[in-house]
Structure 1
Amino acid sequence: MIRKILAAALLLPLAAGADDGRVEDRSPVPATIEFNRDIRPILSENCYKCHGPDPKTREANLRFDTKDGLFATLEEGHRAVTAGKPAQSELWKRVVTSAKKEKMPPEKSGKKLTPREITLLQKWIEQGAPWQGHWAFIPVQRPLVPAVQHPAWVRNPIDAFILARLEKEGLLPSPEADPFTLLRRLHFDLVGLPPTPEDVAEFVKSPEGAYEKAVDRLLASPHYGERMALLWLDLVRFADSRGYHSDNPRNVGPYRDYVIRAFNENLPFDRFTTEQLAGDLLPNPTLLQKVASGYNKLNLTTEEGGAQAKEYEAKTAADRVRNASGVWMGATMGCCECHDHKFDPFTTKDFYRFAAFFADISEGAISDGDKGVFVPTDAQAAEVKRFEDEIAGLKKTLETPTPELAAAQEQWEAKALVPAPWTGIVPESVKAKDGTEFLVEEDGSVVAVGKAVSKDTYTVTLKVPVAAATALRLEALTWPTLPKSGPGRGTNGNFVLTTVGAKSGDKAVALQKAVADHSQDNFAVAGTLDDKKDTGWAINPENGKDHTAVFEFKEPFGKTAGSALVLTLEFRSNQNEHTLGRFRWSATADADPSAGVTVPAKMRTVLEVESGKRTDAQKKELAAYYRTIAPLLDRTRGDLSATQKKLEDFQKGIRRCLITSAAAPRTVRVLPRGNWLDSSGEQVSSGVPQFLRQIETAEKRATRLDLARWLVSRDNPMTARVFVNRLWKLCFGTGISKRLDDLGAQGEWPVHPELLDWMAAEFMEDGWNVKNALKRIVLSAAYRQDSKPSKALRERDPFNRLVACQSRWRLDAEMVRDVALSVSGLLVPTIGGDSVKPYQPRGYWSFLNFPTREWENDKGDSAYRRGLYTWWQRTFIHPSLMAFDAPNREECCAERARSNIPQQALVLLNDPSYVEAARAFAERILKEGGTTPTERIVWACRRALSRRPVDSEIAVLTALQARHLQEYQADRKAAEQALAVGQQPAPKDADAAEAASWVSVARVILNLHEMITRE
């Protein structure tokens, strides 16, 4: 079958090539010339570069992309086009002249009109040169459904439009495909998985009656949302990594779940649009709508330390303009970043006005490490609420005044400013692991000298001068030679003391509590007592000042004064050179060692005021502070801390997602030639392209919500056309207008323009109902046609643009693997969830840096999820997906390439995913397929191909199995190796040689072109 198909393709007549490398269209010149269909593409391709929208490249003050420009009177009274008179039209005369200096397009352009194009221009002018605005920029009008000569073929209005054009061309539609092909086609198009033999058996009993039921069943399947999400995630450039040089992970998985859910629940496309562009701006947005707004965070971001903020602010803005205009408008507005569009009426100012819609998104130009919001399941949300309620109760207890607290506070105030008695310590030795050198001053303070090192560990040996010591005090002290006077050696005078440890001999001495007079946000001194390198004590912004920390022993230390103690101070944070520059140790045996240390400066000021002279505000503030340290509330604070820790630990198991948050809009200027270093351009406010209907917002700034509503308004000419064109491509392999990402002048005139407009109008008037729009297509007779073109059709329409038959194509990369897993029985059909990591060659990520990473294959069910959930690393997408043309998703991808390369066959033969699938399929064949080779082969083909094999196929596969059985019986080790690939264990009771021989059969079936082709 494959050879026949290839032979037929090779026998197709090849069109002659034009001089500029284009394929020449030799179809007959139509009787009536239409400007949009026949003339605009000629002008766009050959003339717009010098006579188009961009004023900077326009020559001779002559413009062909507007009606006024094309028909304007030129110097000396000439006109480019004089209606009805080619001989008086400069455009025509320049095209046909033989004079090189006058010839258009000029030779240096590399362009040359074909004889057909010249004839089209001549006939158009002769017919009065009727002008049309560009079809994609004219509001959608519902055309009348045409009458046809063969109405019996028509199942719905789609067919009437198709058939009317076919009849005009003297063609007839193809017969309906057989039931096996029809059901398999529906399954691939609507859910991306093959039908089961049970599905097929039920369907073929009564194909006509069962067809619509099958459509409804598939549209209601949860796998429908996954199939549609595959299309959408390419458009919005969804990926699990940030892109650029480090390409680090980011939390966006719940956005993918939102897309799947939206399609499954048939969320109207206008709401789907609004929630993604502006879910955060909706009144009282739900968590799901906030997750939808994560669309705005799918752009590439950088974490590079030396990156220029203004440069990446410009990159991000341009990325968003390209994507949003491409996804919803099918427009190439990205061309306007540096200059006006060469072919369409988009201007540079339009580009930056469009970018200004997104200027309110709260973010740093350089990635700020935002992890996103928690997105819990219902069960997780209930548990979080339980924790939060408990925390709220404990906080209320801490905030509630009581007589007992008031009395205790009065006693505390009397001695709050009286420090505990401290005895200074002169250390016996101070050493550093990584090269820091020290001097010990007369006052016992230690000064670090020499070159500052990136990280270090200080070891201080000392004798504690008091018996039964309750605590040690660490003073971080300033020093003139330190950066900013210290006390740290960081460039700003800061330090990060990661860990403090104590030992007496070989025995660890426990420290139970650490307090300080000041701690930097997120770097509380208590962090020195854990083993985390991302916590610890730091003091920014209170650099350049002395600071004190107190570390309390869990049990009093030292039976006598002079007990030896070794202290370890680790400086292992991500901040380089953030070590201590000068410090001093002291000890105390006081029962309240923290007294006078932790009272903030503001509270000291209040305490210094006599109690009777304090203002009400001071009294209230002091009482609130005391409740944070009151011994009476120690247990409550402990319970609060423990509960907060439990909540924090529980939330580690909850997924997170980046969402959009609005902030004050940034100033947006036109960047001359796109140069982010040049801020001399005009300041602009948010707005849509000037040539389209404008957003009316009175005096207010137009927001992303206004943009979303404008995109899905009834008189927007582009959004509905763009989306139904992509639905058509999903069902027929090619859009009605072939260029899915460009409906502008460089795109393609729709083959069935009236049909495209009818579907767009129907889509909008049906409430933007995606399932209904898709159902109309798949219920049509056009969709149900056979995909094998007749000889006459191959000659007349070799690319099947008129849809006189169906089309066939290789499945998308993810679906290729999905089919193998489904047939083998390995597929885990769970909907939604985190991205997964199936088998991948070892070392594939070896070039990923900052930090270095290693791909770790998932175990268990995660290894067998659908390809939609495979981890998407932009710079290193999974090699199996890459082989089958999956995009890297750095940009909007409206249509994937479809190549045919040797690597694809090698993937199907050797990738562990496919070898293991063949193993599992072979086990099913032996277990479920019957007892004889013929029964098993028939069962396998029905399971994998949805049909019974023909006799010749049975003979080939039977012979293959028999031959391999003999070979494996002679080489048991080879048989065991064939059964060892993958995580799934081989059945213990199976004969290895027989099982391996059926693995060979399974591999052949899974490698058939028919397995990965949608007919």
Structure 2
Amino acid sequence: MLSVLVPLGAIAAAERPLSFNRDVRPILSDKCFFCHGPEESHRAADLRLDQSEAAYGVAIEPGSADASELIARILDPDPDVQMPPPETGKRVTEAELEILRRWIDQGAEYEAYWAYVQPGPVAVPEAAALESGDGAGGVEPDAGVIDSLVRAELARGPLQPAPRATRRDQLRRLHLDLTGLPPSYDQIAAFVADDRPDAYERRVNALLASPAFGEQFAEYWLDLVRFADTVGYHGDQIHNIAPYRDYVIDAINDNLPLDRFSREQLAGDLLENPTIEQQIASGYNRLLQTTHEGGLQPKEYLAIYAADRVRNVSAVWMAATMGCAQCHDHKYDPYTSKDFYSLAAFFADIDEEKHFKNGTNALPTRREPEIDVLGRTDRLRLAELDAAIESAEAGKDSDQLKSLQKERDAIVARKQRTMVTRAIPPRTVRFLPRGNWLDESGDVMQPAVPEFLGQIGEFAGLPDEARATRLDLANWLFDVERGIGGLTARVFANRLWYLYSGRGISPTLGDFGGQGRPPTNPDLLDHLAVVLMESGWDLKATVRQIVTSETYRQAVVMRESRRKLDPYNDLAASQSGHRLPAETVRDAVLDMAGLLDHQVGGRSVRPYQPSGYYRHLNFPGRIYTPDRGRMLWRRGVYTHWQRQFLHPTLKALDAPSREECTAERPRSNTPLEALALLNDPTFVIAAKALAARVLRESDQTSSPAVIETRINTATRIAIGRDANQAERVALAGLLESEIKRFEKDPAACDAFLETPRDVSIAWPAETSAAERAAWSSVARAVLNLHETLYRP
């Protein structure tokens, strides 16, 4: 990659000129584009402020703010003349007015919109002191580019890069980010003692190779594509799609290139001789919400489904809000209603008729087309068994044949049905004026990409009469030379940065348009986009570069002075600590308790949830029955996702219902979250299991020294360190009071220790019931520490 080195000090000394994309366009988009933007039908005074050729000489006089009508209208006190009009509730602030004045006086130079410009090699400033000398390993050369670009931005202001995090925090952060599971105390101790130069890189490579990486990353992808186990509308009945989730996990673990990963989902059924995996992947097209009520209007829902697909495809791969163009041209971006229905036409070959012909209130119900599939491990084992059975039959043997056949039958019984896509002759898609599905006067639409981004027929080399397909669309999304691969690369580079820093370089992960926020460090975003493209769309390679950078390994610094200068940490002057995502909270707690089941893949599972929570689910009514045995302790990624009634603990911890693409989950901190974590049966059982583990691993006397050791054992398991003095005092006090309470009330003690029939807690025989209950209370507190549920 081309790199141009310039002195860091020279950049710091230079005054940064205003940028239209970074400084000016967000103001115009927010205050002006509603009436003077891309949408033609509602444009006022035939004035566009998003294009220089339309604005110059009419509203803007380059070089003279005082002579520009734009500034005059903003300052005019007459409400009939003033812009924005007072009735809009918008006004240009003094700071924004000063930016507009400066920009016009500097020449009012417009820029091509940043998201649609092909990213290329960036000038990399020279940065010094990238190693802290703590012996935890230096940075890889490519990762050093990240640090140089981040520090060049920091050099323009008063903020200094934070120091490296402690080795414990580095390893906890790395494990939680890459696998969703905390490191053990022994792993932390070994890392702290490892003085090899590549110690850190060794851990990165091991975690990227772990099956848990695919499970953790899949949670984010499933948010993007709105994966769920139910239809969402009406009765919110089951639909069969769990194998698609396993495909995502396997593909991430196999490091399937992002372009191929996406192509198989959008058009796996259109590939030549599609494999089982590619057929499963095509289930992406079936993930939308569907209705199966008897009185539906098919044309209405065909329009709803088409709009849903346009919203999701444009959001996932383009960070575009094309849903806004369903009824009118986009007010802030150059997407037209014609573009909306042309994109919908790509998906007109997906068979929707079964939704309407086979509507039923039965549970479960089939959503044809579907196929029966096994997980990849089972498929491989089945092939081995068939060969062994053939050999046993030839040898006329165990007994062997009976044993092999029994295993084969058990595997076949694990087959699951899953929805797939099978192309049919495309139905007619019309332009719907104002989005009205009853109005059939609109033109028939052919598949096409947004007009301002090119021509799909020209891209795919199609003759004029040929119809473009979903496969052509998928290829266009990733073609760097003739398609929009650069935009797609920026979208995913931005999301990877968000996953491992807590904040997108462009903070609006789902909107790269005019109402979104431009990148705070455009060179950094372009660098990561180029890395992603030049690596052959290698997600793991790009993740590796991010997490081996010094920027990633910084400490979390929360000083008030820093928050005032950069409240959202847009400049990445330190790491951004935050509460763990909902599924990671569950996984981490179960892992600490020694309960987590590590099997990869399988059907969706039903953990404990409040009785009667489904009482309002009708058509048909539902009675929720939790799973049993090890299925209760599967990872959160496998949890049954009921769109209308999401598991209450996941909901309390900000997991989305997955009705729409979710590029960024909210992160809240409310008492409801604490109540859920303290009272959800899964977490209560985990606390008891952790307490039993602590008691088993220590002396069975009750001396102060043993109590301190046990408390340290609990905190070592949960947060990777010994308890400090304040924590020891608080937890010891809790233990003492709880022992007294449970000794006085044996009935309450027995009720608290009661567990479901299929849950077994291995308590040491020497401990009393009051001790067990009291230590469970201590474990409950430890599992709910801020630090336990926090990504440092």
TM-score by length of 2: 0.88
The answer to whether residue 115 in structure 2 is matched with residue 136 in structure 1 is yes
Q: Which residue of 2 aligns with 1:263?
A: 252
Q: Which residue of 2 aligns with 1:984?
A: 759
Q: Which residue of 2 aligns with 1:924?
A: 693
Which of residues 148, 164, 173 is equivalent to 1:160? 148
Partner amino acid for 2:44? E
Partner Cα separation in structure 1 for residue 205 and residue 762 of structure 2: 39
Which of residues 54, 69, 78 is equivalent to 1:69? 54
The answer to whether residue 312 in structure 2 is matched with residue 323 in structure 1 is yes
User: Quick check: 1:242–1:300 contact (8 Å CA) kept in 2?
Assistant: yes
Q: Which residue of 1 aligns with 2:97?
A: 118
Which of residues 177, 188, 197 is equivalent to 2:176? 188
CA drift of 1:834 comes to 0.3
CA shift digits 1:723-762 (9 cap, x unpaired):
1111111111110011010000100011111100110011
Q: Which residue of 1 aligns with 2:81?
A: 102
Which of residues 333, 339, 355 is equivalent to 1:350? 339
Which of residues 669, 672, 680 is equivalent to 1:900? 669
CA drift of 1:994 comes to 1.1
Q: Which residue of 2 aligns with 1:48?
A: 33
User: Quick check: 2:355–2:367 contact (8 Å CA) kept in 1?
Assistant: no
Q: Name the SS of the counterpart of 1:669 in structure 2.
A: coil
CA drift of 1:957 comes to 1.3
Distance of aligned partners of 1:930 and 1:205 in 2 relative to their CA distance in 1, 3 Å threshold? farther
CA drift of 1:792 comes to 3.1
Q: Which residue of 1 aligns with 2:587?
A: 818
Partner Cα separation in structure 2 for residue 770 and residue 950 of structure 1: 40
CA shift digits 1:200-219 (9 cap, x unpaired):
11111136642111111110
Alignment map for 1:159-178 (pairs within 5 Å): 159-178=147-166
CA shift digits 1:367-390 (9 cap, x unpaired):
5433511112465688699999x9
Partner amino acid for 1:288? E
Which of residues 459, 462, 483 is equivalent to 1:698? 462
CA drift of 1:250 comes to 1.1
CA shift digits 1:635-693 (9 cap, x unpaired):
xxxxxxxxxxxx99996641121111111111111100000000101111001101113
User: Quick check: 2:462–2:468 contact (8 Å CA) kept in 1?
Assistant: no
Q: Which residue of 2 aligns with 1:938?
A: 712
Q: Which residue of 1 aligns with 2:395?
A: none
Q: Name the SS of the counterpart of 2:347 in structure 1.
A: coil
Q: Name the SS of the counterpart of 1:374 in structure 2.
A: strand
Partner amino acid for 1:839? Y
Q: Which residue of 1 aligns with 2:401?
A: none
Q: Which piece of structure 1 moves more, 711-720 or 650-659?
A: 650-659
User: Quick check: 2:343–2:449 contact (8 Å CA) kept in 1?
Assistant: yes
The answer to whether residue 235 in structure 2 is matched with residue 246 in structure 1 is yes
Q: Which residue of 1 aligns with 2:188?
A: 200
User: Quick check: 2:259–2:537 contact (8 Å CA) kept in 1?
Assistant: yes
Partner Cα separation in structure 2 for residue 35 and residue 362 of structure 1: 46
User: Quick check: 1:82–1:125 contact (8 Å CA) kept in 2?
Assistant: yes
User: Quick check: 2:322–2:330 contact (8 Å CA) kept in 1?
Assistant: yes
CA drift of 1:958 comes to 1.8
User: Quick check: 2:325–2:336 contact (8 Å CA) kept in 1?
Assistant: yes
Q: Which residue of 2 aligns with 1:884?
A: 653
The answer to whether residue 760 in structure 2 is matched with residue 994 in structure 1 is no
Distance of aligned partners of 1:356 and 1:648 in 2 relative to their CA distance in 1, 3 Å threshold? farther
Partner Cα separation in structure 2 for residue 679 and residue 70 of structure 1: 37
User: Quick check: 1:226–1:868 contact (8 Å CA) kept in 2?
Assistant: yes
Alignment map for 1:797-876 (pairs within 5 Å): 797-876=566-645
Q: Name the SS of the counterpart of 2:426 in structure 1.
A: coil
Distance of aligned partners of 1:275 and 1:116 in 2 relative to their CA distance in 1, 3 Å threshold? same
User: Quick check: 1:174–1:789 contact (8 Å CA) kept in 2?
Assistant: no
Partner Cα separation in structure 1 for residue 97 and residue 43 of structure 2: 23
Alignment map for 1:491-506 (pairs within 5 Å): none
Alignment map for 1:1-16 (pairs within 5 Å): none
CA shift digits 1:774-821 (9 cap, x unpaired):
011111101111102344322211221111111111111111111111
User: Quick check: 1:980–1:986 contact (8 Å CA) kept in 2?
Assistant: no
Partner Cα separation in structure 2 for residue 30 and residue 811 of structure 1: 39
Distance of aligned partners of 1:999 and 1:379 in 2 relative to their CA distance in 1, 3 Å threshold? closer
CA drift of 1:149 comes to 5.8
Partner Cα separation in structure 1 for residue 779 and residue 557 of structure 2: 27
Q: Name the SS of the counterpart of 1:231 in structure 2.
A: helix
Q: Name the SS of the counterpart of 1:228 in structure 2.
A: helix
Q: Which residue of 2 aligns with 1:950?
A: 724
User: Quick check: 1:787–1:805 contact (8 Å CA) kept in 2?
Assistant: yes
CA shift digits 1:378-434 (9 cap, x unpaired):
65688699999x9xxxxxxxxxxxxxxxxxxxxxxxxxxxxxxxxxxxxxxxxxxxx
Partner amino acid for 1:173? P
Distance of aligned partners of 1:846 and 1:85 in 2 relative to their CA distance in 1, 3 Å threshold? same
Q: Name the SS of the counterpart of 2:453 in structure 1.
A: coil
Q: Name the SS of the counterpart of 1:657 in structure 2.
A: strand
Partner Cα separation in structure 1 for residue 588 and residue 414 of structure 2: 31
Partner amino acid for 1:953? E
Partner Cα separation in structure 1 for residue 479 and residue 698 of structure 2: 56
Distance of aligned partners of 1:937 and 1:84 in 2 relative to their CA distance in 1, 3 Å threshold? same
User: Quick check: 1:313–1:365 contact (8 Å CA) kept in 2?
Assistant: no
Which of residues 735, 743, 751 is equivalent to 1:969? 743
Partner Cα separation in structure 2 for residue 971 and residue 386 of structure 1: 57
Partner amino acid for 1:158? I
Partner Cα separation in structure 2 for residue 869 and residue 962 of structure 1: 39
Partner Cα separation in structure 1 for residue 443 and residue 340 of structure 2: 13
Partner Cα separation in structure 2 for residue 334 and residue 257 of structure 1: 29
Partner Cα separation in structure 2 for residue 767 and residue 385 of structure 1: 34
Q: Which residue of 2 aligns with 1:370?
A: 367
CA drift of 1:68 comes to 2.1
Partner amino acid for 1:355? A
Alignment map for 1:501-900 (pairs within 5 Å): 653-695=414-456, 696=458, 697-699=461-463, 700-715=466-481, 716=484, 717-900=486-669
Q: Which piece of structure 1 moves more, 170-179 or 650-659?
A: 650-659
Partner Cα separation in structure 2 for residue 828 and residue 763 of structure 1: 33
Q: Which residue of 1 aligns with 2:64?
A: 85
Partner Cα separation in structure 1 for residue 597 and residue 650 of structure 2: 19
CA drift of 1:912 comes to 0.6
CA drift of 1:270 comes to 0.7
Partner amino acid for 1:199? Q
CA drift of 1:929 comes to 3.7
CA drift of 1:196 comes to 1.0
Provide structure 1 residue ranges, at least 5 long, that are not aligned to the other structure.
1-28, 74-78, 391-646
Q: Which residue of 1 aligns with 2:215?
A: 226
Partner amino acid for 2:218? A
Partner Cα separation in structure 2 for residue 787 and residue 746 of structure 1: 30
Q: Name the SS of the counterpart of 2:66 in structure 1.
A: helix
Partner Cα separation in structure 1 for residue 412 and residue 452 of structure 2: 50
Partner Cα separation in structure 1 for residue 312 and residue 632 of structure 2: 32
CA drift of 1:951 comes to 2.0
Q: Which residue of 2 aligns with 1:286?
A: 275
Partner amino acid for 1:370? R
CA drift of 1:66 comes to 2.0
CA drift of 1:863 comes to 0.6
How many residue pairs align between the two structures?
A: 725
Partner amino acid for 2:149? F
> Equivalent pairs: percent with the same residue?
48
CA drift of 1:176 comes to 0.6
The answer to whether residue 210 in structure 2 is matched with residue 215 in structure 1 is no
CA shift digits 1:280-300 (9 cap, x unpaired):
111111010110111000001
Structure of higher CA gyration radius: 1
